Amino acid sequence: MLNPNELILGLGSNSGKTPDDALHMLRRAKRLLQCHSRFELLAVSPIYASDALLPNGAPPEWNRPFLNAALRLRVRDRSGLTTDDAGALLEEMKVLERTLGRMDGPRWSPRVIDIDILDWGAPPVSRAEITIPHSELTKRPFALLPLHDCLERHNCTREPLEWRYSHPDQVPFRTRRAPFAWPEIVAILNVTPDSFSEGGPSEAGNSLVRRLESQVREGATIIDLGGESTRPGARPLSPEEEYNRLLPVLSVIHDLKNRYGITFSLDSRHPEVTQWVNRECPIDWINDVEGFTNPKMLELAKETSCDLVVMHSLTIPPNREAVLNPQFDPVDQLMEWAAERISTLTRAGIARERLILDPGIGFGKTARQNQAIFERGREFLKLGTRILIGHSRKRFLDPDDLVPASDRDLETAVLSSRLALSGIDYVRVHSPRPNERSLRLGNRL
């Protein structure tokens, strides 16, 4: 049963030239709703692929496959919805569609985005402009199956869900789980000789280009470049030292941005380095391991339009003796920290939509605390920001130290599959390929 202030939205897109374009639109719609002041994201469905629903005689160019999904949301400012809210919610969804680029067009033609109210916790509504539950729900497996994934015990219909157990070719519109997943992959590129798990790349020129191109082909949409190691015991660098490590790589990153449209993230806690790098290669994300607690980094963040990865840490470099209070719930402690950071940053004039919260697995936490944070990652969705999880090669994956850190990609990928349907937005990893495959598998299982 849905609670009185909950609803389930269906998302659909068959825009662009490739399924990747439709996936991009679903992710944008999810993030817009996730960061919306009125809504709290509670659950996401797997992503489904289906044939387009078309009338007889439709133009051939309309016949583009759809990607579909569902989101379960709570309305923050209401204890319960009523039938009087239906019209306002419908208009709100239309506003969001227009924000995402949808324009009026012929019915059944390709759509940049569809956002439909599939069901809610209020009494049913049947009007000319809106019907809740959606009037065609039982005829459209590409809407009904995602809805049931968000809410297994759904009472809108007593008809059996035969589609769930059919051979894929027998399901109406060939509806099936798609080979995609919600989280995007952030590929780590450390150019430091004392990284805890890489030992620092020694590539130059064509070798570095091949490595970065490989990361993009293997599924990375963001490259996170770092020049200062944050492993325990690492020597802190001066801004000049860090910049000199980064400088040879920037022309390669700039070329990749132009050719592939990747997002460039700079992993640095030094405002001077961030400014110097930005002059050579425009930065899209600033990833600050200190969570923008440095007043100069905060001022820099206010002056830019970059998205901000706000990470939790207690000491840099990490000190194994400095951890979250073991007497209290680690997730509760991080939620309190995150609420303070969000409040400080938004009061400084930084839009919530620019924030990406990283709970900082491996920084100031015990192995058990890291495990709890990973397993309960979906709880961070309550914050109303995007969420990044960086579990790659961390020691909590192998607490007995049986495997060198550089060989923990298998352990990393196994856990990544558990993030596919958690609602989080990004996984930050050293090796994109096994994690991309693991996320796809997580969406399909």
DSSP conformation class of 364 = S
For the chain, how are helix, strand and coil distributed in percent, rounded to 5? 40, 20, 40
Tokens of 143: 């809407």
d(CA 344, CA 298): 10
Other CB atoms closer than 10 Å to residue 179's CB: what's the count? 15
Q: Which of 185, 169, 172 is nearest to 145 (CA)?
A: 172
Looking at 354, 365, 394, 395, which residue is catalytic? 394
d(CA 292, CA 354): 13
76 in active site = no
Q: Which residue's structure tokens are 């049947």? A: 126
Three-point CA angle 389, 394, 397, nearest 5°: 100
Tokens of 343: 């409040």
d(CA 243, CA 287): 15
Distance of CA 348 to the CA centre of its chain: 24
Assign 222 to helix, strand or coil: strand
136: Cβ–Cβ under 8 A, 6 or more apart, which residues?
A: 143
394 in active site = yes
Within 176-256, strands assigned E span 176-177, 184-190, 220-226
d(CA 406, CA 421): 27
DSSP conformation class of 45 = P
Q: Which residue's structure tokens are 């030292």? A: 241
Tokens of 239: 């801004």
SS3 of 242-282: the string is HHHHHHHHHHHHHHHHHHHCCEEEEECCCHHHHHHHHHHCC
Three-point CA angle 335, 338, 343, nearest 5°: 125
The type of residue at 192 is: T
Active site residues per annotation? 394, 428
